[in-house]
Chain A
């Protein structure tokens, strides 16, 4: 069980402690997360599932430091994100967090290689050529380095985005519906790639998805409903997950 922070296998890559977040719509405040606590062991692949509006994207953004919770703590590696100042948070995120967006979000004016090394450039860090080549090969983009993103297919673009997330050797890679815009073959490639980075590179990956087929690539699946954690499954099959999701939706 990952809801309990005490007995999780160590080391822990990500820990959320009683994280709450609400949004203002008009005059009312709508809670998106209600006192969520969880921890994710290093070197594992975690999927977060839940119906629309369950708060799964908010969870991911708070965990990745893209958003700040109203209360509670987020610990990434050994760093307490809530303690970081507004000014130092971007730099920390750049160097320690990888983020993969549903819509790839590559810069059209930069070549694939430049897009991949952009976090290093922004951080003023030098590029290790071997590591870059390794990552590009791992995502299957060797030979396409000088292309512009818009000259690639959707699957290739998402793999370039994953390479960008990996290049800094982050504490964790967060992926928000990474296969949402892809056909099933391209989606499979992307999921295999994420699995590969966990298994072979020892990366920690947290992925939000609504697709049971995508979620079953993960080691663990966390279910979210109404802003609260609602159980988890380890090494689940597509069928298990589908049933569970259907149950979540019925409630």
Chain B
């Protein structure tokens, strides 16, 4: 039987090439997504500063969610300092060293993390020259600064510059050459008195590095420590890096989150597009199957033959397609690095698992689609099948029609969710509606094509041009062929529009809200944050009317999604100085008074969050700070502009207690009239950066654009995939028309007429696809816009749209034109 399959594959080489390419691309895309997801679970960075510690102990860095992935905390969860002694007393521990991490900035504006010299043993760093730091103003550097012992260096903390004497140069590992380039970050070690002055969380450490007694298994030791000491997590091997820099773990969670959402779309798209190509291939071979049935093959036997052929081709294609998938994953990961999602030294986790999943999914999609498409032709009596094989039926089965309508209805419902459900839940529903709508339209594809043709038929009918008449007849007789090309093109337009214009819609509203919510004249910032002292000093500069220090972080809060399910969501939070707040900030009128944030145990919420949490002024709101601290605060105010300001606000000092750096992100100042230039000069004198109102909006935009850049990259990969698949299926469909084209040529059609005929068909297909794409992208975009701004007006960038629609149209027209030319080429003798 496999011999039959093989010879059939050999005979239908062109058609199977199309199937091969479709599954090949599908497997590649799915493999890439799988690698990213697996890396989100297992990948990470190698430990650097703690490479010499056998076990690294940290606090639980994520909030467990029942039946779901744990949600990571935004800030470092600290350990009480007395835990160091507890850990040191666990049998098998030779030495336990508490770590701190202090954000400093060089005079050149470079951010560096400084540690205490005691923790140098954990790399281990050893002195190459000089001596260890003793006094608070002494420092040991690594070679990357190019400074020799005895000279001095200026380092600022919280915007406050200080001079340090370099007492020694250290290098990691045994030889400096070996490890010098591995530790990407420059190393700075202060004396313990130096870190004590700058570390804002006295009595707490970030992590504890453990050096085990010789012969102790680090894993067993980690388990022993976890058992003996409460509330700690032991990390060994590469996982130590997660504890060392929050970046590794946070990067992994972000990677998992992003790739999971991208993969959902990508896998559905891949399966959908592959299934489309496969059913197209099967449809065009119906006559062959009818003949098989006519010579006595049973229904099951015929389906078995089809299944064997398809799995044979899809298996090989899936296997070969999985290989470039790994390469694609690396390419995507590099984009994630430049988007700041994962650190540059983040290592992807490679295993055969994603490839295996991709091959299985690709084969399943291929086999499923083939069997579904073949069923009709194979079940009919051979005579009826032979008769029907000549053209295609545009009437869809009842089940298919119902399925399509249900999908469209569900999609429309999801798009309208923001009308009823405020906040991110509604937004997510609206954003996810695009794919539902597209798949629904895809299921009803032939019916839609027929509808469109019925509408334009009167126009074409009047034409006496042979090309037009033939194109009209061809599209009417083969609606499925047309739909098979049209649907992925529409998918590209719709998905592209939704993905590309969601970001600008949110961005436009966020920028608007940011602009509206800040009434200050200037924003003052420093590379590594601004301390409370510096903020106070800024407030005293002559000409400053009001200065509001702002710290930003993120909190986790449980909210109810659609009234049924508790989910943990991340919300942005601002910690603001409550004094004179009204002259620098205007988050939009609400109830209560923001000035009351000066009182302890208070919080202000955006109206949206208050509504979805079912609370209001006078009520309570519970959440977890970025450092994991649980809080329940009295709501003292609500405000309008959650998007620009953050959904929560607390007192400045309160929030800084719960951030790792303990510093402000920036200080907003409003100036006395006429004092501007002197004021700016005075602030710059302090070594700080001053932005005026115009530059202010841009700063927020940069912060948000990292995320949208990633979604654009993901979209481009997806569109690239869809583009290649469309070209593949169009070339396949057009190549199969060679007999028809040859017959028309024998009847006297010129090549120009034939090219125009397929051209008109392609134009009809492309026009339908673009219109349908626009139509399908509207409900999600309107829903998203409503969710974000309360107005169903999405921000559409015309240039982007025309580029998207133009590329799609060019792909459709171009591949049909090229395939027609090839089909018309004389076969060489």
Whether A109 lies near B474 (C-beta < 8 A) is yes
Whether A94 lies near B740 (C-beta < 8 A) is no
Contacts of B750 in A (CB 8 A): 87, 90-91, 122
> Which chain B residues numbered 732 to 763 have a C-beta less than 8 Å away from chain A?
740, 743-750, 753
Whether A121 lies near B391 (C-beta < 8 A) is no
Q: Within 8 Å of chain A (Cβ to Cβ): is B580?
A: no
Q: Within 8 Å of chain A (Cβ to Cβ): is B466?
A: yes
CA distance A105 to B473 in the complex (A): 16
Contacts of A91 in B (CB 8 A): 748, 750
> Which chain B residues numbered 454 to 496 have a C-beta less than 8 Å away from chain A?
464-466, 469-470, 473-474, 476-478
Q: Within 8 Å of chain B (Cβ to Cβ): is A119?
A: yes
Task: Say how far A179's CB is from chain B's closest CB, in angstroms.
Answer: 20
CA distance A94 to B750 in the complex (A): 10
CA distance A93 to B748 in the complex (A): 6
> Which chain A residues numbered 84 to 115 have a C-beta less than 8 Å away from chain B?
87, 90-91, 93-95, 99, 105, 107-110, 114
Name the contact of A105 in the complex, choosing from B387, B464, B743, B829 (C-beta under 8 A).
B743
Whether B748 lies near A108 (C-beta < 8 A) is no
Task: Say how far A183's CB is from chain B's closest CB, in angstroms.
Answer: 16
Q: Within 8 Å of chain A (Cβ to Cβ): is B390?
A: yes
Whether B473 lies near A109 (C-beta < 8 A) is yes
Task: Say how far A24's CB is from chain B's closest CB, in angstroms.
Answer: 6
CA distance A94 to B711 in the complex (A): 56
The chain B residue sitting closest to A148, CB to CB, is B391
CA distance A76 to B279 in the complex (A): 47
The chain A residue sitting closest to B466, CB to CB, is A121
Task: Say how far B733's CB is from chain A's closest CB, in angstroms.
Answer: 14
Looking at chain B, what size class is its interface with the partner chain? Answer: 20 to 34
Whether B747 lies near A119 (C-beta < 8 A) is yes
User: Looking at chain B's contact residues, is the secondary structure mostly helix, strand, loop, or mixed?
Assistant: helix
CA distance A180 to B337 in the complex (A): 71
> Which chain A residues numbered 129 to 183 have a C-beta less than 8 Å away from chain B?
148-150, 164
Contacts of A87 in B (CB 8 A): 750
Contacts of A110 in B (CB 8 A): 469-470, 473
CA distance A40 to B473 in the complex (A): 38
Task: Say how far A171's CB is from chain B's closest CB, in angstroms.
Answer: 14
Whether A90 lies near B473 (C-beta < 8 A) is no
Contacts of A66 in B (CB 8 A): 746
Q: Within 8 Å of chain B (Cβ to Cβ): is A123?
A: yes
Q: Within 8 Å of chain B (Cβ to Cβ): is A245?
A: no
Task: Say how far B483's CB is from chain A's closest CB, in angstroms.
Answer: 16
Contacts of A150 in B (CB 8 A): 387, 390-391
> Which chain B residues numbered 154 to 197 have a C-beta less than 8 Å away from chain A?
none
Whether B469 lies near A114 (C-beta < 8 A) is yes
Q: Within 8 Å of chain B (Cβ to Cβ): is A11?
A: no
Produce 1/0 per residue, B14-37, CB < 8 A to A. Answer: 000000000000000000000000
Whether A109 lies near B391 (C-beta < 8 A) is yes
Task: Say how far A239's CB is from chain B's closest CB, in angstroms.
Answer: 36
Name the contact of A108 in the complex, choosing from B391, B464, B744, B745 (C-beta under 8 A).
B391
Whether B744 lies near A107 (C-beta < 8 A) is yes
Contacts of B391 in A (CB 8 A): 108-109, 148, 150
Given A90-B750, A109-B391, also A121-B464 (CB < 8 A): yes
Whether A109 lies near B748 (C-beta < 8 A) is no
Given A121-B466, A150-B387, also A107-B748 (CB < 8 A): no
Contacts of B743 in A (CB 8 A): 105, 107
Task: Say how far B129's CB is from chain A's closest CB, in angstroms.
Answer: 83
Name the contact of A118 in the complex, choosing from B387, B390, B464, B466 (C-beta under 8 A).
B466
CA distance A66 to B742 in the complex (A): 11
CA distance A105 to B746 in the complex (A): 10
Whether B748 lies near A123 (C-beta < 8 A) is yes
> Which chain A residues numbered 63 to 89 have a C-beta less than 8 Å away from chain B?
66, 87
Task: Say how far B392's CB is from chain A's closest CB, in angstroms.
Answer: 10
Number of A interface residues in the complex (CB < 8 A): 26
Task: Say how far B210's CB is from chain A's closest CB, in angstroms.
Answer: 78
CA distance A99 to B747 in the complex (A): 8
Contacts of A99 in B (CB 8 A): 746-747
Whether B746 lies near A107 (C-beta < 8 A) is no
Whether A107 lies near B466 (C-beta < 8 A) is no
Whether A108 lies near B390 (C-beta < 8 A) is yes
CA distance A95 to B748 in the complex (A): 8
Whether A114 lies near B387 (C-beta < 8 A) is no
Name the contact of A122 in the complex, choosing from B466, B477, B478 (C-beta under 8 A).
B466
The chain A residue sitting closest to B468, CB to CB, is A121
Whether A107 lies near B740 (C-beta < 8 A) is yes
Contacts of B387 in A (CB 8 A): 150
Whether A90 lies near B748 (C-beta < 8 A) is yes
Whether A124 lies near B390 (C-beta < 8 A) is no
Contacts of B464 in A (CB 8 A): 121, 124, 126
Whether A24 lies near B748 (C-beta < 8 A) is no
Name the contact of A121 in the complex, choosing from B469, B476, B829 (C-beta under 8 A).
B469
CA distance A123 to B465 in the complex (A): 9
Whether A107 lies near B473 (C-beta < 8 A) is yes
Whether B744 lies near A90 (C-beta < 8 A) is no
Task: Say how far A200's CB is from chain B's closest CB, in angstroms.
Answer: 25
CA distance A105 to B747 in the complex (A): 10
The chain A residue sitting closest to B746, CB to CB, is A66
Task: Say how far B386's CB is from chain A's closest CB, in angstroms.
Answer: 9
Task: Say how far B825's CB is from chain A's closest CB, in angstroms.
Answer: 14
Contacts of B740 in A (CB 8 A): 107
Central interface residue in A87, A93, A108, A150, by most chain B CB within 10 Å: A108
Task: Say how far B313's CB is from chain A's closest CB, in angstroms.
Answer: 28
Given A94-B747, A109-B473, also A124-B829 (CB < 8 A): no
Task: Say how far A19's CB is from chain B's closest CB, in angstroms.
Answer: 19
Central interface residue in A24, A121, A148, by most chain B CB within 10 Å: A121
CA distance A209 to B797 in the complex (A): 68
> Which chain B residues numbered 379 to 424 have a C-beta less than 8 Å away from chain A?
387, 390-391
CA distance A118 to B478 in the complex (A): 19
Whether B477 lies near A109 (C-beta < 8 A) is yes
Whether B748 lies near A122 (C-beta < 8 A) is yes
The chain B residue sitting closest to A92, CB to CB, is B748
CA distance A249 to B750 in the complex (A): 41
Produce 1/0 per residue, A220-245, CB < 8 A to B. Answer: 00000000000000000000000000
The chain B residue sitting closest to A125, CB to CB, is B464
Contacts of A107 in B (CB 8 A): 470, 473, 740, 743-744
CA distance A240 to B792 in the complex (A): 88
CA distance A87 to B744 in the complex (A): 15
The chain A residue sitting closest to B754, CB to CB, is A122
Task: Say how far B240's CB is from chain A's closest CB, in angstroms.
Answer: 69
CA distance A121 to B747 in the complex (A): 11
CA distance A105 to B744 in the complex (A): 9
The chain B residue sitting closest to A120, CB to CB, is B466
Whether B474 lies near A24 (C-beta < 8 A) is no
Task: Say how far B201's CB is from chain A's closest CB, in angstroms.
Answer: 78
Task: Say how far A157's CB is from chain B's closest CB, in angstroms.
Answer: 11
> Which chain B residues numbered 782 to 829 have a C-beta less than 8 Å away from chain A?
829
Task: Say how far B743's CB is from chain A's closest CB, in angstroms.
Answer: 5
Contacts of A108 in B (CB 8 A): 390-391, 477
Task: Say how far A178's CB is from chain B's closest CB, in angstroms.
Answer: 15
CA distance A122 to B465 in the complex (A): 8
A91-B748, A122-B748, A124-B465 known, 18 other contacts, Cβ within 8 Å: A66-B746, A94-B747, A94-B748, A99-B747, A105-B746, A107-B743, A108-B390, A109-B470, A109-B476, A114-B469, A114-B473, A118-B747, A119-B748, A121-B470, A122-B466, A122-B753, A124-B466, A150-B390
3 interchain residue pairs of minimum CB distance:
A94-B748, A109-B477, A108-B390
Q: Which residues of chain B have a CB within 8 Å of any CB of chain A? A: 387, 390-391, 464-466, 469-470, 473-474, 476-478, 740, 743-750, 753, 829
17 residue pairs from A and B, CB less than 8 Å apart: A66-B746, A94-B747, A94-B748, A107-B470, A107-B744, A109-B473, A110-B470, A118-B466, A119-B748, A122-B744, A122-B748, A122-B750, A122-B753, A123-B748, A126-B464, A150-B387, A150-B391
Q: Which residues of chain A have a CB within 8 Å of any CB of chain B? A: 24, 66, 87, 90-91, 93-95, 99, 105, 107-110, 114, 118-119, 121-124, 126, 148-150, 164
